[in-house]
Structure 1
Amino acid sequence: MESVVAQNRQYWEALAPHRPGESVEFFRSGGTALNEDELAAVGDVRGRRVLQLACSVGDEALSFARLGADVVAVDLAPTHLATGRAKAEALGLAVDFREQDMMALDPELTGFDLIFISWGGICWVPDVNRWAADLAARLAAGGKLVISEHHPIWEVLTVTAPMRVNGDYFTPARVGTADPLKAPQITREFKTPITSRSFVWSIGAVVTAVLEAGLTLGSLQEFPAPEMYADLGEEAGHLPATYLITALRSVDRPEARLT
């Protein structure tokens, strides 16, 4: 697993200088990096402790901070984190950006009211069962895990004429991306010789991991995004493109020991 993390950190560091995210002006004008479905799922975060995983340049973390949350945001790439810190300073927002592997978080990162991961995050998790169990232990009683992600069906389809399959829905591990549209956008513009190692987790695998971690499934929603299947024409909205899961830690669940 350490070799996977090291390879992916090198990959993201190569791309990070070319990924500024949203501008400071975007946030000053009232912009948010959270969509309406995500805002509805997380609820009121004012005064709540929030942990964002795979935060990249921190746009969602900054959005949570603007809503009044106490935010910790972690990512593998120090250059991404530097961009996030610079934007937070310019906006006068307090966000605790940390260079962390989300599979090996610091033991003191516990007691969160919300743990959030968004599009293009869970694909960097090599063991979804261990990941979910660790996060469940880091939630406060009554805390919530929110996963907002690309749909694995979209991940394994290449939308061309004719459509073809570019990955195995039931075998998660992959080296690089067979379809360039499934790679981070900047990868299509900035050609790096460094190859990433990622994973496509099925909906069943994610839900089972969450349940086996002792959390209660709150919701599972699947959404169309016609622009993600543009070559399908009028049928582009007939396939799932993203999904959103909420899961809750029981208020009476005993504290877990982090290992």
Structure 2
Amino acid sequence: MSEQRPSDVVSQNREYWERLAPHRVGEPVQFFLDGGSALTESELAVVGDVHGRRVLQLACSMGDEALTFAQRGAAVTAVDIAPSHLATGRAKAEALGVDVEFVEQDMMTLDPRITGFDVIYISWGGLCWVPDLSEWTRLVADRMDPGGVLVISEHHPLWEVMTVRGEDALSVSGDYFGIGRDGYADPLKAPEITRRIGTPDVPHRSYVWSLGSLVTAVLHAGLTLESLQEFPDPDSYPGLGDHATYIPATYLLTASRSRDSHAASPPSPRKGIKRE
């Protein structure tokens, strides 16, 4: 793997996602009108009541989880690097009559005014685009109000490096400790849409963060680890058989900022943020 500046990686990844975004629409508007939730029961349980709370979703894609938070009464800011994803999210928010501020930003270089949140949330397929985990957790901690919570709901790093070879048969197709990867040795680890339209012919880099490195980064950022849950998902190991429920496919981590800590960033984060 070649060494690249983080800004170059972000630019390449933005182009990669822009190629995919027009083909990714998420849940239809009717799903939300009918009371559907883009958040799992486990996620809802750890987040709790968000009515009147300020929520930031990072790597929001087309913003389905952000819409769910908004329908539950939260004041929501949703960030992504792909403008086409954000356009899809804005259109759905308008159709639903909810207020979500969709902002085109790299989640590693957030505008200083994007701060002061009660909940910061990132969902499946988001953390793998973070090039520097320690820097990211420090940034997240800084943008969280005292008493706020970080919620990471993500593919399990074990799933990221294992490939199904048949019933009860797995092989190692990635490096659990290697961190950076260019492309995907196992196409099932790529965004699902690529299996229908193909992989865009542009360079892109993602990352595999071990649970140990994640927990360490969270603690070093001054956050308190509240919970770390691991879940099976047979659909994530197609063809493995009954033992697909014996190994983790996803995890859910929550960490909080002490109420005694003092915010280091300026107030009024929603005022004047540029919508790209």
Report the TM-score, using the length of structure 2 for normalisation.
Answer: 0.92
Q: In the aligned structure 2, how far is the partner of 1:54 from the partner of 1:116?
A: 9
How many angstroms apart in 2 are the aligned matches of 1:232 and 1:188?
A: 19
Residue 175 of structure 1 is aligned with which of 158, 172, 182? 182
Aligned CA-pair RMSD: 1.0
Amino acid at match of 1:236: A
- Cα offset, 1:52, TM superposition: 0.1
Please say if residues 156 and 251 of structure 2, whose CA atoms lie closer than 8 Å, have aligned partners that are also in contact. Answer: yes
More helix by share: 1
- The 2-side partners of 1:117 and 1:41 are apart by 13
Residues 32-43 of structure 1: pairs in structure 2 closer than 5 A: 32-43=37-48
Once the two structures are aligned, what percentage of the paired residues are identical? 64
Give the CA deviation at 1:257.
5.3
TM-score of the aligned structures, taking structure 1 as reference length: 0.98
| Corresponding pairs, count | 258
Gaps spanning 5+ residues in structure 1: where? none
Alignment partners' CA distance in 2, 1:255 and 1:118: 25
Report the residue type matching 1:112 in the other structure.
Answer: F
Specify which of 9, 28, 31 is matched with residue 23 of structure 1: 28
| Counterparts of 2:13 and 2:78, CA distance in 1 | 18
Structure 1 letter corresponding to 2:104 = E
Select the residue among 145, 148, 171 that pairs with 1:143: 148
Q: Deviations over 1:11-66 (max 9, x none)?
A: 00000110010000111011110000000011110000000000000000000000
Q: 1:234 aligns with which of 234, 242, 265?
A: 242
Q: For 1:2-81, what aligned pairs fall within 5 Å after superposition?
A: 2-81=7-86
Q: 1:115 aligns with which of 120, 126, 135?
A: 120
Measure the CA separation in 2 of the matches of 1:232 and 1:15: 28
Equivalent residues of 2:143, 2:265 under 8 A apart: no
Cα shift at 1:230:
2.6
Give the match's secondary structure for 1:230.
Answer: coil
* Counterpart secondary structure, 1:133: helix
Give the drift of 1:226: 1.2
How far the C-alpha of 1:189 sits from its partner, in A, is 1.1
Letter in 1 for 2:231: F
Kept in 1: contact 2:144–2:263 (CA 8 A):
no
* 2: CA distance, partners of 1:208 / 1:217: 10
SS in 1 for 2:193: helix
**Pairing partner for 2:164 from 152, 159, 162:** 159
Secondary structure of residue in 2 paired with 1:231: coil
Q: 1:251 aligns with which of 237, 259, 270?
A: 259
Give the letter for the 1:9 counterpart: R
8 Å contact from structure 2 (residues 143, 263) kept in 1: no
